[in-house]
Amino acid sequence: MRAHRPEPGRQLRDSGSLLQIVHAGMVAAGLDVSAIYRRLGCGTDFLDRRGLRTPHDLQIPFWEAAEAVSGDADVGLHLCPHLPVYRGEVLEYLFFSSRSFREGLVHALRCLRLVSDAVRISWTQDAAELHLAVSGSPLQAPQVRHTDICAVYQTIRFVRSVTEHRYAPLRVRLRCARGAAQADYERVFGCPVEFEAERSLVSFDAALLEYRSPRRDPDLLLLHAELAQKRLAALERQDLIERIRVVFSRRLDLEQCELEEVARELGVPARRLRFDLACAGTNFSELLTDFRYSLARRLLRGSDEPIQHVVYITGFSEPGSFYRAFKRWSGMSPAQYRRQSRSPSFSN
């Protein structure tokens, strides 16, 4: 059985909780986290943002920075023992309230997007063993071996957590080549480890599938499944807004941008698009206004485009309308904003 796959072309994102776990592990391991984030050109304030989801392709520069600062080519493996257990929130509740681990697994795999668009987990069973195939990243770069190793390790920890530590892995196969000593891998995973496999795989006793949680409760399962679906629906609405912004970014004439035209480009009925945006707590006009304001700020702050050019790039027919709108949005004129935005203390 396989997890849900995202739509082709949609940018893959990871739940902020994954970065928070790795951040906590780096702190516990004594790494210089400030130096790592400086190399990435950011601070740590964003870690506490509610509903944070980060682009998955940032995995590559993140692990590059972690390797460089730590001086450890096997930093992912060595971080594993310091990582807190992924509690999983609603995924954990689905396992606890299900009648068996098998049922919890079926429910959880439908909801993996809540963890990451990039994580892939599937399972097969033979007479003696349950095999969980785990892929932490589809990216083709040597640095993401750390993501795969951490994903396999967290899968093991999660399984042990939701089964009250009754089930340990029998063996692990990793798709990456061995880096550190064999004994280091086996100490971290607690079982024999093989390398350069076709895909990363964790094997457990097949009896795990029939494990019955002492907290199983069919009524709670219905509530948890409903909560998971609501959160998935919220992610779908975020995806829609992102797709609309991509359409905006491709258009040369934002002033004449209409909902019906964007709906045709997205391949959805205009009425459905209007309804979905209302469910997301916004509307087409608000999204377009936000995009134009964001584009204007970006051009004023990061380029030397004459303000006259910014007026037309952002879809205004004449400068007066742009000046009035920008003053309404920001409380200052475009020229004032450009000057202030280049001050070292500016944070808008």
Render 257-271 in DSSP notation, one character per residue: --HHHHHHHHTS-HH
Sign of the dihedral through C-alpha 299, 304, 310, 313:
negative
Under CATH, what is the fold of the domain 13-216? H-NOX domain (3.90.1520)
Q: How many residues does the chain have?
A: 348
Q: Is 165 left (phi over 0), alpha (psi -120 to 50) or beta?
A: left
Closest CA to 192 of 168, 173, 167: 173
Residue type, 178: R
Per-residue pLDDT tens listing for the chain (348 residues)? 444 444 444 678 899 888 899 999 999 999 999 999 999 888 777 777 777 888 999 999 999 999 999 999 999 999 999 999 988 779 999 999 999 999 999 999 999 999 999 999 999 999 999 999 999 999 999 999 999 999 999 999 999 999 999 999 999 999 999 999 999 999 999 999 999 999 999 999 999 999 999 999 999 999 999 999 999 998 888 889 989 998 888 876 676 788 999 999 899 999 999 999 998 889 999 999 999 899 999 899 888 888 888 888 888 888 898 999 999 988 999 999 998 887 766 666
- Helix (H/G/I), strand (E/B), else coil: 120: strand
Q: Where are the alpha helices (DSSP H) in the chain?
A: 16-28, 33-40, 59-70, 75-79, 90-97, 101-109, 145-162, 182-189, 218-250, 259-266, 270-279, 284-302, 307-313, 319-330, 334-341
Sign of the dihedral through C-alpha 252, 241, 42, 342:
positive
- Say what the pLDDT of residue 9 is: 45
- In degrees and rounded to multiples of 5, residue 5 shows phi and psi of -105, 140
- Say what the pLDDT of residue 252 is: 63
- Say what the pLDDT of residue 111 is: 92
CATH superfamily of 236-341: Homeodomain-like (1.10.10.60)
- In degrees and rounded to multiples of 5, residue 83 shows phi and psi of -75, 135
Domain regions of the chain by residue span? 13-216, 236-341
